[in-house]
A and B are shown apart, each in its own frame.
Chain A
Amino acid sequence: MSSDTRETANPTETAVWTGGNGQDSVSSGAIISGVGATSVGRLEGENPWSLQVAACRAAVENAGLAPGDIDGLLAEPGYTQPVVDGITPHYLRLGGMLGLSPDLAGAEVLGGASSVAMIQRAAAAIAAGLCTHCLCVYGDAPLSAPGTFERGRGDDATHGLFGAVGIHAMAARHHMDLHGTTDEHLYAVASAARLHAARTTHAQFQEPLDLKTYLASPYVAAPLRKLDCCPVSDCGAAVVVSAEKMCPPANHPSARIAGMGQAHCLAPMIDERHLRKLPAERSGARAFAMAGVTPSDVDFCQLYDCFTIVVLMQLEDYGFCAEGEAGGFVTGGGIAPGGKLPVNTAGGLLAEGYGGGMLHVVEAVRQLRGDAPGRQVEGARLGLVSGHGLGLNTHATLLLEGVEV
């Protein structure tokens, strides 16, 4: 799309950020050239560093690049390691392990939105001419350090508010009160994840989930049951974001970053939308406008799904259905394999396993490459990937489109 046709088609889009490399938008500047991931689940003998390094190596090899080509490093250390350990940032130690002297380095600290946000930062940096091939990596081994997901934040613990589950449960209760959402609707999300995972050989939970088993699952923080919560997993996952024009001819197609957006709710106690709407509404609107597409153009989604309720909220906030109608949307296989909008085609956090949101990006790229054997969405051309973090505070959106390199 040239800048001329863009302005003719929609003059309001002239405010959209344009890249600094002489091209008309981020969509023509940055692609995801390579993806890599370790196994997911309980990985005996592994640690966060070994998983991150393994994922980086796989992603760079998958991009058809060599370690010496990498000139950017962005990292999200997960939950068991500090972003800054004493005075040593995580990316410094990781960069040292990888032998890198990059032109760009840093960390994202947006919780579950970090993986998508890293790719956004890399794409913006590439478009601005700051680097050419940027590694973005998540990796953690929380099964080796149990309990880290269970802390109360600050004074929350004194009220008995622990972990991410309680606040998401309050959002679920709110959704039920406002829209008549039911246990069966939450079940439909959990069940769809398992149906996708059944077609994904590396997924952590591939067994189908029936309603009786779901309803027998114990409450953690009602109305959320154990089976509404994603598992804790050991996993490393990485992607390489590259300047499209600097990519070597590869033997596989890749994924262009067509649109992106972030939105956050940093003052939840004075925002009456908090626990009722996600920042996804604003984040998505920006990404759709940047890409010049609408929700009906999207062929599949990889939605951050730390808890089932977040999928329902995102379907509404992104505009895939009207507010309050997500329960109906997911009923009868709406987001399952073959549904009207396949969501989390490898099983997502709920069933593929916890990959910090980066596995969602990896899966989206595999779908757009036609490289998802056994679970390929026919004609997958445009995918939406989301990241959602902390206590419903952070959100980031990517729209990816398939492209032949």
Chain B
Amino acid sequence: MSGKPPPIPDTITDAYWRRLGEGFLAAPQCAGCDRMWLPPSPACPHCWSTSHELVDCSGKGRLVTWTVYHRSYHPAFAESVPYAVGLVELDEGPRLFAGIDTQDPATLTSGMPLVLFLEEREGGFRVPVFRPGKAMEK
């Protein structure tokens, strides 16, 4: 356990974090317009339909943009600097911010393919992190 801060689920995001705890990154999919989105919300942000369900994603995506933190703002990240955080677009469409795990941030490029893995946090949480690559590691 890294001591990095766990997520803070609320009634809107609880199911999303519970599904991640089970090992799956899932996003709401709208029954009205079929689109998927993140972060979770009570209605589809595209068409405002309130009919939707959490659907597991493939865990594949691409890097839109990123930054490399050279300064730690939390003691648990002190050992990680420099570390990368990016905006990731999943193959299914939703976008999310997530840690980007790489030994050499200089090799990151926009549009590069990424695959999901999960990092543990206190309280039984797992948070999405991505690595450059095309295939899921098991």
**Distance, CA A151 to CA B38, complexed state (A):** 22
> Do the beta carbons of A159 and B65 come within 8 Å of each other?
no
Give the residues in chain A near B51, CB-CB below 8 Å: none
1/0 per position for B83-109, CB-CB distance to A under 8 A?
101110000001111110000010000
Q: Does A297 contact B (CB under 8 A)?
A: no
Within the complex, what minimum Cβ distance (angstroms) separates A348 from chain B?
A: 22
**Distance, CA A155 to CA B46, complexed state (A):** 23
10 smallest beta-carbon distances between A and B, as pairs: A169-B67, A162-B73, A219-B70, A222-B68, A174-B65, A221-B67, A170-B65, A177-B110, A150-B73, A157-B5
The 22 listed contacts between A and B (C-beta, < 8 Å) are A155-B39, A156-B97, A158-B7, A158-B127, A160-B74, A160-B77, A160-B85, A166-B67, A166-B85, A170-B66, A170-B67, A171-B65, A174-B64, A218-B71, A219-B71, A220-B70, A222-B67, A223-B67, A269-B38, A269-B39, A269-B95, A270-B46
> Do the beta carbons of B74 and A161 come within 8 Å of each other?
no
> Do the beta carbons of A173 and B85 come within 8 Å of each other?
no
> Do the beta carbons of A154 and B37 come within 8 Å of each other?
no
Q: How many residues of A contact B (CB 8 A)?
A: 32
**Distance, CA A172 to CA B66, complexed state (A):** 9
> Do the beta carbons of A275 and B7 come within 8 Å of each other?
no
> Do the beta carbons of B82 and A222 come within 8 Å of each other?
yes
**Distance, CA A152 to CA B6, complexed state (A):** 12
Give the residues in chain A near B69, CB-CB below 8 Å: 160, 162, 166, 220-222
The listed residue with most A CB atoms (<10 A of its CB), out of B5, B96, B110, B129, is: B5
Which chain A residue lies CB-closest to B68? A222
Give the residues in chain A near B99, CB-CB below 8 Å: 159-160
Give the residues in chain B near A275, CB-CB below 8 Å: 64-65, 87
Q: Does B1 contact A (CB under 8 A)?
A: no
> Do the beta carbons of B65 and A163 come within 8 Å of each other?
no
Within the complex, what minimum Cβ distance (angstroms) separates B18 from chain A?
A: 14
Give the residues in chain B near A220, CB-CB below 8 Å: 69-71
Q: Does A267 contact B (CB under 8 A)?
A: yes
> Do the beta carbons of B127 and A159 come within 8 Å of each other?
yes
> Do the beta carbons of A170 and B87 come within 8 Å of each other?
yes
18 further A-B pairs in the complex, CB-CB below 8 A; given A157-B5, A269-B37:
A155-B13, A158-B4, A158-B5, A159-B85, A162-B69, A162-B73, A166-B67, A166-B69, A170-B86, A171-B65, A174-B65, A177-B65, A177-B110, A218-B70, A218-B71, A221-B69, A224-B67, A269-B95
Question: Contacts A170-B87, A173-B65; is A152 near B45 (CB within 8 Å)?
Answer: no
What's the dominant secondary structure at chain A's contact region? Answer: helix
Within the complex, what minimum Cβ distance (angstroms) separates B42 from chain A?
A: 14
Q: Does B80 contact A (CB under 8 A)?
A: yes
Which chain A residue lies CB-closest to B86? A170
Give the residues in chain B near A156, CB-CB below 8 Å: 97
Question: Contacts A269-B37, A270-B37, A275-B64; is A159 near B71 (CB within 8 Å)?
Answer: no
1/0 per position for B1-34, CB-CB distance to A under 8 A?
0001111100001000000000000000000000
> Do the beta carbons of A221 and B70 come within 8 Å of each other?
yes
Within the complex, what minimum Cβ distance (angstroms) separates B30 from chain A?
A: 12
Within the complex, what minimum Cβ distance (angstroms) separates A15 from chain B?
A: 26
> Do the beta carbons of A160 and B80 come within 8 Å of each other?
yes
Within the complex, what minimum Cβ distance (angstroms) separates A222 from chain B?
A: 4
Give the residues in chain A near B95, CB-CB below 8 Å: 269-270
Taking a contact as CB atoms closer than 8 A, the residue among B45, B67, B127 that contacts A270 in the complex is B45
